[in-house]
Amino acid sequence: MHEDIQEILYTEEQIKTKVKELGCRLSEDYKDLNPLCICVLKGAAPFMTDLVRSMDIPLEMDFMAVSSYGASTKSSGVVRIIKDLDASVEGRHVIIVEDIIDSGLTLSHLIDLLRHRNAASIKVVTLLDKPGRRTVDLKPDYCGFTIPDAFVVGYGLDYAEKYRNLPYIGILKEQVYQQQ
Ligand code: PRP
Ligand code: MN
Ligand code: MG
């Protein structure tokens, strides 16, 4: 285990099992819809790539980069679009793929945007949900794990751009983000 991690919340195996389960459900629900899976970079990248490989239906992938956190553990409330989609979402059945929903600001902003661009439907799949921190009314349509209010990293989730490559999800030691 990485020395900055206090405790492993979900192991690589547990994540794998959960991602497969979500992929199966999405495959059934989107069988004939050729969904457009939108990965919210950067955090959702590992989840997205594993998820689509557990979906055995025709689908397309696109990527969007937004950021609200920077090098802080708290959302700034300002959602910046850093990279926009390549494809048009008009008339498409969109699945937004997120690693975590915290305040809900990132997603509510994205959903508004995609609605405005006339997507046929918009649903959200998130690996982690932290409902205790929500500041806007938003519930994921598909969720892997509901977690308590701890600062988690790994499997895409970062603190100041670090730890995204950990294969598990762990709680970051408080001293790591209290140092500065
Ligand atoms: C994190 C996370 C979600 C968002 C959730 O992304 O990956 O996208 O914050 O927080 P919210 O519900 O309070 O909006 P971040 O902005 O850190 O960018 P990153 O994915 O590149 O790490
Ligand atoms: Mn993110
Ligand atoms: Mg981040």
CB of 42 closer than 6 A to ligand 1?
yes
CB of 99 closer than 6 A to ligand 1?
yes
pLDDT at position 179, please? Answer: 75
What is the value of ipTM here, to two decimals?
0.97
Give the residue ranges of DSSP H helices in the chain. 12-29, 45-53, 105-116, 174-178
Indicate the top mutation candidate among 75, 99, 101, 106 to test ligand 1's pocket, ranked by most ligand atoms within 8 A of CB. 106
Whether residue 26 is contained in a domain is answered as yes
Whether residue 5 is contained in a domain is answered as no
Whether residue 177 is contained in a domain is answered as no
Whether residue 162 is contained in a domain is answered as no
The chain-wide mean pLDDT, for the chain, equals 94
Whether residue 67 is contained in a domain is answered as yes
Number of domains within the chain? 1
* Residue 19, domain extent: 13-150
Whether residue 61 is contained in a domain is answered as yes
pLDDT at position 180, please? Answer: 61
Domain containing residue 114: CATH number? 3.40.50.2020
Give average pLDDT by consecutive 10-residue segment, the chain, 180 residues.
97 98 98 98 97 98 83 62 95 98 93 96 98 95 96 97 98 89
Whether residue 168 is contained in a domain is answered as no
For residue 42, what are the β-bridge partners? none
The string of pLDDT tens digits covering residues 16-26 is 999 999 999 99
Instruction: Name the 3-class secondary structure at 8.
Output: strand
Distance 50 CA to ligand 3 centre (A): 19
Active site residue 149: no
Please provide the DSSP assignment of 17-56 as one string: HHHHHHHHHHHHHTTTT--EEEEEETTTHHHHHHHHHT--
Whether residue 8 is contained in a domain is answered as no
Q: Which of 22, 76, 69 is nearest to 41 (CA)?
A: 69
CA-nearest residue, atom 21 of ligand 1: 42
How far is it, in rounded angstroms, from Cα 118 to Cα 165?
35
Distance 99 CA to ligand 3 centre (A): 10
